[in-house]
């Protein structure tokens, strides 16, 4: 058939990739290659062609991208020897390989899903062309990347190889791989690696009221981090339910587009902190390492690994990393009266030094923000704010009366209690008949 030569040409372009092989190694790319192979089979195997097209269609649905948008996203986010360069590359071979790959990928990009669907119709003898998958409106990944000039340049430029300097600048600014794909991560102990969080907490800074001084200090410190200055490690401590963790998580929705990334590390994995920092220090993004509900038992020496991150060692402290921890305890290491020195032959000679090391550990954070328990006025202010955001049809007097009842019967006055009350009330009012 007339498309056989075109199919073979596309197969050669895909096989010729030197640096950007990962672009087609994911399922959508592999399904595309299987479809090309099926189009080369004899007429008697036309059902294989239809099956291969169905698998390719499902792979595109899974990523939510058309074939062309999929290639662009992979091109901008795939990690390889070129994208890992942190300074202007000098290798002529690397440059030539990148230019060759860009031209090959542009050939794959030039064949739209509609054209491939028509080939499948011709091959299989269908009366109509199979449905073509298109990128849905407001697709998050496309929305984010389409705001960058390189996205439009790739769509309009006749020779992608000519865009190599712009691509290199894009990689250096925004990074590639996992850190360009996700904004939130958690550290996984086995195997030791960062895992992207597909649906991070969407809480917004505007939802959090009542602790404006603490919020201002946190935002100012985070702004310094994003600007490349030496930001301070921070300890947020105070009563439960005051919004300490929510305030840290809300930074992501405010600053992720400016390169901020949030990495959650559990207390059990604090010994891995030096390893995590080493992975992040040369990346273009800015990182907040988030440790929630931090405290240590008397015999827990994991705080020594945290101490290395807070105070540094012989390795220079990276400017793109800061640690934010929350705790209900001002002194993070539990101390007992029995820990205090007593005149005894069995006591440590310099035992007061040990006690002071425990007591002063929290002082190693550059900034400490205190979250006092919410009084009645603060609690009601939070309730009114959340109720306004939810557009609840309730008179102010009735809202406050029910909010105080809720606090009395449940967990006391706090931002968490206010959030729980408004969520409950919203469901109740929306579900009420009429």
Beta strand extents in 129-233 (DSSP E only)? 184-188, 193-196
The C-alpha atoms of residue 282 and residue 83 are separated, in whole angstroms, by 13
Question: Are 210 and 319 contained in the same domain?
Answer: yes
Counting residues of the chain whose pLDDT is more than 90, the rounded percentage is 41
The predicted pLDDT at position 303 comes to 65
Question: Are 296 and 334 contained in the same domain?
Answer: yes
The predicted pLDDT at position 401 comes to 92
The predicted pLDDT at position 411 comes to 78
Q: For all residues of the chain together, what is the average pLDDT?
A: 85
Question: Are 357 and 283 contained in the same domain?
Answer: yes
Please name the residue ranges forming H helices in 227-291. Answer: 244-255, 273-280
Mean pLDDT (whole number) for 258-267: 92
Mean pLDDT (whole number) for 116-129: 89
**How many domains would you assign to the chain?**
3
Task: Flag whether 180 is in a domain.
Answer: no
When pLDDT is cut at 50, 70 and 90, the band that residue 350 belongs to is very low
The C-alpha atoms of residue 200 and residue 205 are separated, in whole angstroms, by 14
The predicted pLDDT at position 347 comes to 52
Question: Are 367 and 380 contained in the same domain?
Answer: no
Task: Flag whether 296 is in a domain.
Answer: yes
Question: Are 40 and 135 contained in the same domain?
Answer: yes
Question: Are 230 and 143 contained in the same domain?
Answer: no
Question: Are 136 and 230 contained in the same domain?
Answer: no
The C-alpha atoms of residue 146 and residue 148 are separated, in whole angstroms, by 5
Question: Are 130 and 230 contained in the same domain?
Answer: no
Q: pLDDT tens, 354-388? A: 444 555 566 678 888 888 888 888 889 899 988 98
Buried b (16+ CB within 10 A) or exposed e, 231-256: bbbbbbbbbebbbbbbbbbbbbbebb
Mean pLDDT (whole number) for 162-182: 88
Would the pLDDT of 64 be above 90? yes
Is this model's pTM higher than 0.85 or not? no
Question: Are 231 and 96 contained in the same domain?
Answer: no
Mean pLDDT (whole number) for 176-185: 88
Q: pLDDT tens, 267-316? A: 888 888 888 998 898 888 999 999 988 876 655 566 666 777 776 665 66
Residue 313 belongs to domain with CATH number:
3.40.50.300
Would the pLDDT of 334 be above 60? no
């Amino acid at each position: 058939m007339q498309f056989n030569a075109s199919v073979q040409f596309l197969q050669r372009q895909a096989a010729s990739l030197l640096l950007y092989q990962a672009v087609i190694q994911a399922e959508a790319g592999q399904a595309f290659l299987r479809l090309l192979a099926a189009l080369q089979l004899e007429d008697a195997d036309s059902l294989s062609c239809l099956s291969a097209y169905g698998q390719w269609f499902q792979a595109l649905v899974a990523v939510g991208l058309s074939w062309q948008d999929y290639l662009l996203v992979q091109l901008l986010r795939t990690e390889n020897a070129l994208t890992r360069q942190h300074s202007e590359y000098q290798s002529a071979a690397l440059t030539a390989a990148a230019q060759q790959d860009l031209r090959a990928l542009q050939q794959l990009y030039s064949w739209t899903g509609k054209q491939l669907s028509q080939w499948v119709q011709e091959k299989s003898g269908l009366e109509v062309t199979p449905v073509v998958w298109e990128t849905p409106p407001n697709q998050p990944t496309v929305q984010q990347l389409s705001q960058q000039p390189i996205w439009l340049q790739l769509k309009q430029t006749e020779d992608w190889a000519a865009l190599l300097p712009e691509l290199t600048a894009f990689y250096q600014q925004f990074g590639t791989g996992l850190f360009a794909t996700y904004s939130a991560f958690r550290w996984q102990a086995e195997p030791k690696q960062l895992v992207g969080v597909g649906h991070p907490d969407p809480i917004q800074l505007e939802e959090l009221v009542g602790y404006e001084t603490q919020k201002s200090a946190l935002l100012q410190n985070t702004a310094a981090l994003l600007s490349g200055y030496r930001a301070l490690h921070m300890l947020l401590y105070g009563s439960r339910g005051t919004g300490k963790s929510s305030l840290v998580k809300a930074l992501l929705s405010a600053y992720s587009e400016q390169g901020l990334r949030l990495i959650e590390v559990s207390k059990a994995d604090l010994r891995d902190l030096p390893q995590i920092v080493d992975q992040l220090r040369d990346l273009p993004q800015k990182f907040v390492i988030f440790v929630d509900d931090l405290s240590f038992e008397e015999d827990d020496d994991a705080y020594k690994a945290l101490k290395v991150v807070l105070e540094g060692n012989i390795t220079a402290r990276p400017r793109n990393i800061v640690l934010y921890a929350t705790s209900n305890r001002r002194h993070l290491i539990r101390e007992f009266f029995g820990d205090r020195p007593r005149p005894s032959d069995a006591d440590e000679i310099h035992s007061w030094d040990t006690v002071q090391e425990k007591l002063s550990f929290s002082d190693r954070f550059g900034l400490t923000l205190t979250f006092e328990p919410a009084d009645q006025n603060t609690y009601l202010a939070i309730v009114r704010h959340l109720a306004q955001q939810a557009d609840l049809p309730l008179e102010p007097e009735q809202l406050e009366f029910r909010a105080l009842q809720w606090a009395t019967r449940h967990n006391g006055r706090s931002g968490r209690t206010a959030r729980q009350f408004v969520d409950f009330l919203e469901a109740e009012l929306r579900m009420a008949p009429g």
